[in-house]
Amino acid sequence: MIIREKVTQSIINLFRVNLCLSEGEKALILADAPTPNEWNRLDLDFLTAMTKRVLLARIVGDVAEETFRTNSIEVYIYPSVGGHGRDLPDDVAAK
């Protein structure tokens, strides 16, 4: 389980220090969620890790929206493309 209070300051630092987010800038947080087919064929450890990353993306977005009110923060969850290095769906690439 991800405990929001334990990651909040790291998320704020990520946007301030690492990303140097300036007032009025936009930030897009992407994460891929398992597809129905993946739910049936992937092992539970892999699905658990994947699902935790999706939940973390949501927490990152929530903290960023609350902290950086002059910025546009969007969390976009899309269906998994099934592997590294594969092209993103058109709707994701358009973001």
pLDDT tens digits, 61-91: 999 999 999 999 999 999 999 888 888 888 9
- 73 burial (CB, 10 Å; 0-12 / 13-18 / 19+) is buried
Q: Give 15's DSSP letter.
A: I
List, for residues 42-68, the tens digit of each pLDDT value: 999 999 999 999 999 999 999 999 999
Predicted pLDDT of residue 41: 95
Report the alpha-carbon distance of residue 63 to residue 73 in Å, rounded: 10
pTM for this model (two decimals): 0.90
Confidence band, pLDDT 50/70/90 cuts, at residue 1: confident
- Residue 73 in tokens: 């923060």
Q: Is residue 56 within 8 Å of 1, Cβ to Cβ?
A: no
